Structure 1
Amino acid sequence: MGLLKDKMISDMIVHGYSKKTIRSYTACLSILARNFQKSPLDLLPIDIYNFFLGLRQANKSDSALIIFYSAFLFFYSLLDRKEMMGLVPFPKRKRKVVAVFSKTEVKTLIGNCTTVRETSIFTLLYSSGIRIGEVLNLKVSDIDFERKAIFVVSGKGGHGRYAILADKTATLLKQYMEIYNPKFYLFFSKKGKNIPISPRTIQAAFQKIRNLSRIQKYGTVHTLRHSFATHLLEDGYCLVYIQKLLGHADIKSTLIYLHVSPSSLLQITSPLEKMGNIKLGVFENQHQYGFQFSFD
């Protein structure tokens, strides 16, 4: 796999894949090679089929299967051997309703943070809707207090974007910076200010605070992002704007929030209600009854 791996990495860099995707794809190929104890070059289409059968039997998620499929397809496409994937259909991600906290639950959760750092992290996550991985990589220089914006240098897919910096979050971050004095990473590790905080540290703190808040509903750090998007939708903001704030390349990813909050759809005013007064008259025509409309 040595030379092949190097070739694969080089081509992924040329195609503009993110470092995270490159690591994921190369890891998938390594797992495949270990599973059969041979080079992926020596496998047959039935081997790939059996590999995916094993993933399904092990109840791996649709997301995991999609990553494996995409990694293998990229690899075999480099070798002009796409037929290797011919027996395996592309795994479709099942649409599911995501967990969302109510505004009261979010307020309670943030109120039960035990340090200024915890309060800053979870307030920032909810108020901006950015991902946990994006928070880990935030630099002090990415916070633009004057423009009230957060620059997410490299989001999912390697695309940069701006996120909302709420006034309350800005005030809290200024307080946090005075106390913790971050130099490079906004939220740094206990190992040093030049090392970003780990995702495990944030996830552990979240579950501790969720338990303190006595929130029985299942939730993870990512639930704050879902809550941000759902609450914007409920407040009447356009789905396209929400898509841009979340950094979704495809509007289909944002459409899950229509399933999360169907009540927001039912609160839309019908255009009929905006037509002014309507007189309804009943008429008879060849023994058929209907309504006759007249608009004032």
Structure 2
Amino acid sequence: MAEDLKLRRYKPATCDNYLRCARAFVAYHRKPPQQMGLDEVRAFLLYLAEQRKIAEATQHQYVAALKFLYATTLGRPEVAVAIPWPKVPQKLPPVLSGTEVEALLNAIGSVKHRTIVLTAYGAGLRIDEVCSLRVEDIDSKRNLIHVRNGKHGRDRYVMLSAPVLTALRIHWRAERPAGPELFPGRMQGSVISHEAVRSALREAARRCKLHKRVTPHVLRHSFATHLLELGTDIRVIQALLGHRSIRTTVRYVRVSQAHVGRTRSPAEVLGTQEAKKKLG
């Protein structure tokens, strides 16, 4: 299965996740997957849902991994097709206010961690994207950041704002990275771990007494919502976030209370010339 994932150029994090799910499936039944079929898959998924009480989104990951295992590695697509996708509720993503983002940044003591968090928020980057940035990806002449190998393996460009560029320069002077990695890890050739960034965010949220859930992805949601509230076209937001479908980006419309508040009700124009002209 590991070779099949690599041949299809799945990202390392996805490979690790799929393999972890497949190993859990085998460990539950204590026999090789070649000897199991749909009944065993259903029993395992029911165990996860009813006894482990995993979230719907987590169950979705298990289903994706098992579908890949049976359809690709074992060559049994009839089993893969019959595995049901769980219905995942569309919850409104949490969003920080501008004041909360500013307080969070001020509460981060490390220059390196603060620069990573500001870059993630200021450019709407996923945690893997910001941690993997290279020095050559920063184009200060055109005010662009080159995001390489994003989700689904696609590259894109995002804005390089003045505050982010200033922070990156301060980080560069303090850190002086020896290799191409902008945010290197402890081992040569590695990048800073995702957990190190998450831990810095949790500690900053504790310091400034934020009671909202704060994660790198919350920063990304906040970036998109704040852009919408500033009047940015949703198609531009889609391109900046690297969404393949506008439907994913539309989720942020539901989040933005300011956007809703600025929307005029048709009741406001009833009986006016504008209503006769536009509403008939």
The TM-score normalised by the length of structure 2 is 0.88
Larger Cα Rg: Structure 1 or Structure 2? Answer: 1
Distance 2:31 2:88 in 1: 30
Identify which of 157, 165, 170 aligns with 1:162. Answer: 157
Residue 174 (structure 1) aligned with residue 169 (structure 2): yes
Distance 1:20 1:113 in 2: 27
Runs of 4+, deviation exceeding 3 Å:
12-16, 85-88, 268-274
> In 2, are the aligned partners of 1:46 and 1:87 still within 8 Å (CA)?
no
Identify which of 35, 38, 51 aligns with 2:44. Answer: 51
| Structure 1 residues 192 and 37: CA distance shift in structure 2, 3 A | closer
Distance 1:216 1:21 in 2: 31
Structure 1: gaps (5+ residues): 281-292
Deviation at residue 35 of structure 1 after TM alignment:
1.4
Matched AA of 1:152: V
What per-residue deviation string (whole Å, max 9, x for no partner) do you get for residues 101-130 of structure 1? 101111111122223223211211111110
Distance 2:110 2:16 in 1: 34
After alignment, is 225-234 or 74-83 more displaced? Answer: 74-83
The TM-score normalised by the length of structure 1 is 0.83
Q: Secondary structure at the match of 1:99?
A: coil
Structure 2 partner of 1:35: 28
What per-residue deviation string (whole Å, max 9, x for no partner) do you get for residues 44-67 of structure 1? 311111111011121212222222
Identify which of 98, 117, 121 aligns with 2:116. Answer: 121
After superposition, where does 1:88-237 map in structure 2 within 5 Å?
A: 88-183=83-178, 184-189=180-185, 191-192=186-187, 194-237=189-232
Deviation at residue 245 of structure 1 after TM alignment:
0.7
Q: Secondary structure at the match of 1:135?
A: helix
Distance 2:64 2:193 in 1: 27
Deviation at residue 16 of structure 1 after TM alignment:
4.1
Indicate the RMSD between aligned Cα atoms, in angstroms.
2.7
Identify which of 57, 62, 73 aligns with 1:68. Answer: 62
Structure 2: gaps (5+ residues): none
Sequence identity (%)? 31
Distance 1:54 1:192 in 2: 39
Q: Secondary structure at the match of 2:31?
A: coil
After alignment, is 240-249 or 259-268 more displaced? Answer: 259-268
